[in-house]
Amino acid sequence: MGDPRGFLKIKRNTAEYRPVCERIKDYRHVAPLRVENKSQEQASRCMDCGTPFCHSACPVGNYIPEWNDLVFHGHWEQALGLLSGTNNLPEITGRVCPSLCEYGCVLGINDDPVTIRENELAIVEYGFKHDLIKPGISPKRTGKVVAVIGSGPAGLSAADQLNRAGHKVIVFERDQKIGGILRYGIPDFKLEKTVLDRRINIWKKEGIEFKAGINVGVDYSVEKLLKKFEAIVLCGGSRVPRDLKIEGRDLPGIYFAMDYLAQSNRRVSGEKMLPGQVIDAQGKQVVVIGGGDTGADCVGTAHRQKAACVVQVEVLPEPSKCRTNNMPWPTYPMIFKTTSSHEEGGQRHWAVSTKRFIGENNAVKSLECVKVVFEKDEKGCQQVKEVPGSGFTLAADLVIIAAGFLHPEHTGLLEKLKVEFDQRGNVKADFDYKTSLDKVFCAGDMRRGQSLVVWAISEGRRAARAVDKYLMGESFLPLI
């Protein structure tokens, strides 16, 4: 430990966002990269604590205290080696991860935690800047061919690990470009797609084959899939959105968040849109239903499309500004968060239930809402109750439903494979990520339900090890 008193001398200093008036005019990342000496300064705050809870909080098991110490001493290349050993996409998690590790930081008990996520980003970007991240030498090939279905974070991580093990890996993606939710679900102001393409190009040179624009189960038969490949990894994500089945739902002007975000990302990348199918917030009164990160992404996108006004509503009550007794350290707390999108404008309403959509001239014009409270019944279960006389309306020309996802799409590939599902409708897989079918594995949101990018990466890595062991009898890939 270079400076055991670093956390006493240096206060937490996060990256600064670009001015709101500037950044809402484009889709470039909201925050420029932090200069290297600032990252070294922030890394000095890591306490080298006896029991680093940041490890257990991180789904990929990053060696956080170790690479913080290396960064502080200027040993960037060694830090990059440690980081790359546990995370296939640190340049992604360094930008979009909600930093589970930071909420487990021991320093966070009575002070601001270490800027772990930004330190991680600094390490990987140092690697790219100094040409330290290059295509690796292909290992001895096993002769085994593995199909990975879906190119989101779980699929990409699984493919990378399996390729490192020496297997021939072919990644199938039904969209026109590789990346899944990383490309189509996350706006460029949080994740510019050049960052994703940079990594994919490295993997191509390392031997991974990517086949975009192929919907397996439709364009590519299940029979051919099962015959050609020694193992198959399903990483298709959780794409069936949770809907609001209320009066007026069929009115024009109401869309799911993923449809809105995916189309916006396609427009930003230059893909052509069919006339009459463009979802544009320009000059409109926008209401986003759902208070999570996806809803916040919709808010930021609407700002950049020059919406007249943006309102976000959430049925849950407003979270606490700090930890409460039922969210003690080092658990991940459900506390109030203000994202870069919220800083750009708009209103947020909590504890609001949408009762019905009201239309005019065959288009949505407003929402009828009511305030709600959460009370426990005699069994201790939470019950949602409407507050009498609290009804109100919100004007809306465009409504975006960002209420989460239910489970993966069953029609098509999964239906034709005849895999078993769990009670939630996700693909059922055992401890080794194996489905009810021989040689068919599953990882990511398709298996565990809607979750975080970092959890998808962890799932992909673990599934890859299980596949490698299935094919070879043993595996030298890491457990996480």
| Token couple for 337 | 């968060």
Pick the CATH number of 145-239+406-472 from 3.30.830.10, 3.40.50.300, 3.50.50.60, 2.60.40.1760: 3.50.50.60
Q: Which residues contact 378 (CB under 8 A, 6 or more apart)?
A: none
- Pair of tokens at residue 169: 């890996």
pLDDT of amino acid 1: 59
The answer to whether the beta carbons of residues 178 and 214 sit under 8 Å apart is no
Please state the pTM of the whole predicted model.
0.96
Per residue in 269-283, pLDDT (tens digit) is: 998 888 788 999 999
Average pLDDT over residues 51-55: 92
376 pLDDT exceeds 90?
no
Q: Which tokens sit at 351?
A: 């504890």
pLDDT digits over 204-222, tens only? 999 999 999 999 999 999 9
Tokens of 431: 């401890």
Give the CA-trace dihedral at 77, 107, 53, 62, to 10 degrees. Answer: -20
HSE, CB side, 13 Å, CA atoms: give it for residue 8: 3
- Domains of the chain: which residue ranges? 6-129, 145-239+406-472, 243-403
Average pLDDT value for residue range 452-479: 97
Query: What is the model's pLDDT at position 254?
Result: 98
pLDDT 10s digits, 172-189: 999 999 999 999 999 999
Average pLDDT over residues 22-31: 97
With 70 as the cut, is the pLDDT of residue 371 above it? yes
pLDDT at position 68 over 70: yes
The pLDDT of residue 2 is above 70: no
Q: What is the pLDDT of residue 277?
A: 87
- Burial class of residue 322, CB neighbours in 10 A (0-12, 13-18, 19+): exposed
Architecture of the 6-129 domain? Orthogonal Bundle (1.10)
User: What is the per-residue pLDDT across 241-264, written as a single tens digit (0 to 9) for each?
Assistant: 999 999 999 999 999 999 999 999
Residue-wise pLDDT for 325-338, tens only, equals 999 999 999 999 99
**Predicted local distance difference test score (pLDDT) of residue 139:** 81
Tell me whether domains 145-239+406-472 and 243-403 share a fold.
yes
Helices 293-304, 257-269: axis angle to 10 degrees equals 50
Q: What is the distance between the alpha carbons of residues 206 and 418, in angstroms, rounded to a whole number?
A: 33
Q: What are phi and psi of 386, to 5 degrees?
A: -75, 145
Strand pairing category for 285-289 and 309-313: parallel
pLDDT at residue 346, as a whole number: 97
Residue 446 contacts residue 238 (beta carbons within 8 Å)? yes
Query: Looking at residue 50, what is its pLDDT?
Result: 84
Cβ 426 vs Cβ 446: under 8 Å: yes
Mean pLDDT of 296-308: 98
The whole-number average pLDDT for the span 27-34 is 96
Q: What is the overall mean pLDDT for the chain?
A: 96
The answer to whether residue 433 scores a pLDDT higher than 90 is: yes
Average pLDDT of the segment spanning 216-245:
97
Question: Is the peptide bond between 275 and the residue preceding it cis, with omega within 30 degrees of 0?
Answer: no
- Domain 243-403 = CATH 3.50.50.60: yes
pLDDT digits (tens, 9 = 90+) for 389-408: 999 999 999 999 999 999 99
Mean pLDDT of 285-306: 97
